[in-house]
Structure 1
Amino acid sequence: MMAVSDLVKHLASISPAAYCQIFYVLAAAAVLGIAVAPESVRRLLTQYGARSSPTGTSDDKEGKQARDGPLVSIVSWATSVGKVPHSWFIHFYILSVSCSVFWAVQFLSHGKILEFIVKNQAPSETSSMSINQVVIVWALMSLQGARRLYEYMAVVRSSPSKMWIIHWLLGVAYYFCTGISIWIHGSRSIQSSDRRTFSIEIPSFNMVFGVITFWASWFMQYRCHSYLSQLKKYSLPVDGLFQYLVCPHYTCECVLYLSLALIAAPVGQLYNRTLICAVLFVAVNLGVTANGTKKWYSEKFGHERVRGKWKMIPGIF
């Protein structure tokens, strides 16, 4: 009983920010673990829709599975029974918008859930975001969630494909955690504010640069998604940023969250520690997908069509 009691006390002593950071890092590590798995296993775990179907005849595929051994058979069975519709992606954006509304209500009404988080986070904070920072980051995150929800409802064409339920659960956990993360490092300011009045502040370099970068990435990502929605199904995108990058919409996603990490930097810090962990997860998760996308494009359209294009990060990856 003492061991359990000690464990509970230890878990209670961990700050909310640390819990969010642990989730992002462990999730990124899990994705990296999948990325270094044998290709036959990695294909089953990371790809869906057309990309989940390797080229070749059915006899070739059966022979390959036999050569790969029992591990591939087990993973293949696990991913086949845990499939959910790709259209469930909309749940991520519904959750994102819902979290934005929920935490705003908690903030304005001194809600008990936010008060509990703030009370447990504040003692571990040496510096804090200002109330203005908290509100701006919340507003930008709300706009991102609302735009993605709009895109999925009105711009992106629905897909009959399915994805492994673990992908869906990971996405749900990410958006839930990020909904909390944008508030955490403003705990000390939230405690000392009446939350209905805001002071006029001279914006920092981080704020100006971050907001400009956010809006640029926000609009470019929308243009990428709009362009993709107009393409013939499973054709090669070649216009705009797609001339240089295989997945520029993933690049924009990373830059969006990086800009939020800069805007949300507590006083005296270069970036927001928790949101930079979120950027790490986004970059790793989308990077693995971008890598698979380029391989699929090479198989389907020929290596020459994609040679010279960066996968996601210009000059690096």
Structure 2
Amino acid sequence: MHFYAFSFAIQLFWLFQVIFHGRILRLVLDSLPGDQPPKNDVAEPQIVPGPDGSQSLETILLCIICMTMQSARRLWESIYIQRPGNSKMGILIYIAGITHYTMMGLATWCEGIDTLRLNTNIPISHPSDLLKPPRINTLLAIPFFFLGSGLQHDAHVHLASLVKYSLPIHPLFSYTLSPHYLLECVIYGSFVVIGAPKGQWLNKSLLYVWIFVCVNLGFGANITRKWYEGKFGRKSVEDKWRMVPYVY
């Protein structure tokens, strides 16, 4: 639960920093290399388009909002749906988790630094100015984000409803023992496309985060399989994949 509360707080923090061009964001932008625009460049509230190869302001906000929604849902599930476990978490794993969500908070906007430098006075009183026709990236990735989120929620609800030491029987578990891990990869994969800079299909910073998530959950799926084999016997799960059907 701590991870999701921390992630939710981090995303809200950066959301408000971007919208109001907060002091922390200004300090970060001023400390980074690159051309600094004149301080009085933007006299009136307006949205200034960023250069090619940089995230647009709309892309940055959408990416942060989607990650905020993901963190809020996982926090709600950890409080009201999932059963608390008895296992203890090692300090190194805890630090790794906090580091991951900290870096995710930065990755949602770090490829839009030039855009953020230009947008020091966003027209908060006219939020409709932020509404632009969606890019093809958004049209393709947003359905995967919501579909992955909904199915992952179903998987978590089913796991929480199981009688102790029983195998999951939800259709999502028909071919894989860890569909919730697979769906986490789908969700993070959608961020890679949603957060892509102008003229690009992928956000490289978020791509690195996605690779880390996939590798980490791949190890977790292998541990899950060994647990099932130990509890129910290898024969009971021999026809199921660890995480990705027909692949792993």
Q: Name the TM-score class by shorter chain.
A: 0.7 to 0.9
Q: Report Cα offsets for 1:170-196 as digits up to 9, x if no partner.
A: 111111111111111121222222323
CA contact (8 A) 1:121 1:184 kept: no
Equivalent position of 2:166 in the other structure: 235
Equivalent position of 2:24 in the other structure: 113
Equivalent position of 1:215 in the other structure: 146
Q: Report Cα offsets for 1:48-100 as digits up to 9, x if no partner.
A: xxxxxxxxxxxxxxxxxxxxxxxxxxxxxxxxxxxxxxxxxx11011111112
Distance 1:254 1:207, change over 3 A: same
Counterpart selection for 1:185 from 111, 135, 138? 111
CA contact (8 A) 1:118 1:184 kept: no
Equivalent position of 1:101 in the other structure: 12
Letter in 2 for 1:96: S
Letter in 2 for 1:187: I
Counterpart selection for 2:84 from 148, 158, 171? 158
SS of equivalent to 1:316: coil
Distance 1:265 1:152, change over 3 A: same
Please state how far the C-alpha of 1:122 moved relative to its aligned partner: 7.0
Equivalent position of 2:58 in the other structure: 132
1:1-317 equivalence runs, <5 A: 90-120=1-31, 123=34, 127-193=53-119, 194-196=121-123, 198-317=129-248
CA contact (8 A) 2:52 2:199 kept: no
Give me the identity figure in percent: 35
- Compute the TM-score of the two structures, normalised by the length of structure 1: 0.68
CA contact (8 A) 1:122 1:188 kept: no
SS of equivalent to 1:123: coil
SS of equivalent to 1:212: helix
CA contact (8 A) 2:152 2:180 kept: yes
SS of equivalent to 2:177: coil
More displaced, 221-230 or 180-189? 180-189
Letter in 2 for 1:240: P
Distance (whole Å) between structure 2 residues aligned to residue 285 and residue 204 of structure 1: 31
Letter in 2 for 1:195: I
5+ residue gaps, structure 1, are 1-89
Choose 1 or 2 for highest CA Rg: 1
Letter in 1 for 2:239: G
Letter in 2 for 1:183: W
CA contact (8 A) 2:165 2:231 kept: no
CA contact (8 A) 2:155 2:170 kept: no
More displaced, 229-238 or 173-182? 229-238
- Compute the TM-score of the two structures, normalised by the length of structure 2: 0.86
* CA RMSD in angstroms, aligned pairs only: 1.8
Letter in 2 for 1:207: T
Distance 1:140 1:97, change over 3 A: same
Please state how far the C-alpha of 1:215 moved relative to its aligned partner: 0.2
Q: Report Cα offsets for 1:283-307 as digits up to 9, x if no partner.
A: 0111001011112212221222111
Distance (whole Å) between structure 2 residues aligned to residue 244 and residue 216 of structure 1: 18
The aligned length equals 228
CA contact (8 A) 2:175 2:240 kept: yes
Distance 1:310 1:112, change over 3 A: same
Please state how far the C-alpha of 1:103 moved relative to its aligned partner: 1.1
Q: Report Cα offsets for 1:247-292 as digits up to 9, x if no partner.
A: 0000111110110110101012220001010001100111001011
SS of equivalent to 1:156: coil
Distance 1:131 1:122, change over 3 A: farther
